[in-house]
Structure 1
Amino acid sequence: MQEAVFFDTLRQGLWIAVMISAPLLGVALIAGVTIGLFQALTSVQEMTLTFVPKVGAMLIVFWVSMSFMSDALVDFFTQTLVPLIAEI
């Protein structure tokens, strides 16, 4: 395998990883900032208040975007990795 093919496949794989993780990380960021702002405004310093809503929001987004994630990974595998493996 040539180096250019290897690095191009690695770049595509990293881009797929960024696309797949972006919805979860975005929701975690928005939920964390919102809850932190709420805690700062109300002076409520409960540790479970930051954890439970953030995990709940991430689970909902994961459930909604699971088909997108699976399709992206399957497409990358079947269209990129399988032909490269078949060449070997």
Structure 2
Amino acid sequence: MNAQMVLTMGQEALLMLLMVSSPVLGAALVVGLLVSLFQAVTQIHEATLAFVPKLVAVIAVFAIAGPWMLTMLVEYIRRTIEAIPASVV
């Protein structure tokens, strides 16, 4: 295993991390922005009002995009494990 192979594997891992986490983080960001806007307009500053909608949105995204996320991670792990014999040489 040379340095180029290690850097490529690290780059693929970071790209996978971004692809898998972006739906959940995006949903939390959008819902948080909407709740903050609602709180600013109505001047209601309740802590649960900020937390509960984000939690519901993240759970919904996991329910919808969860199978895709799991498939992507399993395929990455499969490719990584299959690359072990070639890197040992």
Q: Is the shorter-chain TM-score for this pair beyond 0.5, marking a shared fold? A: yes
Instruction: Give the Cα–Cα distance (whole angstroms) in 2 for the partners of residues 32 and 71 of structure 1.
Output: 28
Gaps of 5+ in 1: none
Q: 1:74 offset after TM fit, Å? A: 1.1
Q: Partner of 2:55 in structure 1?
A: 55
Q: For residue 76 of structure 1, what is the amino acid of its counterpart?
A: Y
Matched-pair identity in %:
33
Deviations along 1:21-74, one digit per CA (max 9) or x if unpaired, are: 000000010000000000000010111000001111101101111111111111
Amino acid of the structure 1 residue aligned with 2:41: L
In structure 2, distance between residues paired with 1:86 and 1:66: 30
1:5-84 mapped onto 2 (5 Å cutoff): 5-79=5-79, 81-84=80-83
Give the Cα separation in 2 of the matches to 1:11 and 1:26: 22
Q: List runs of 5+ in structure 2 lacking aligned partners.
A: none
Residues in 2 aligned to 1:83 and 1:72: alpha-carbon distance in whole angstroms: 15
User: Which AA in structure 2 matches 1:73?
Assistant: L
Count of residue pairs brought into register by the alignment: 87
User: How many angstroms apart in 1 are the aligned matches of 2:66 and 2:36?
Assistant: 27
The equivalent of 1:85 in structure 2 is: 84
The CA deviation at 1:83 is 2.5
CA distance in 1, matches of 2:66, 2:51: 22
Q: Over aligned residue pairs, what C-alpha RMSD do you find?
A: 0.9
Letter in 1 for 2:75: D
* CA-CA distance at 1:77 after TM superposition: 1.4
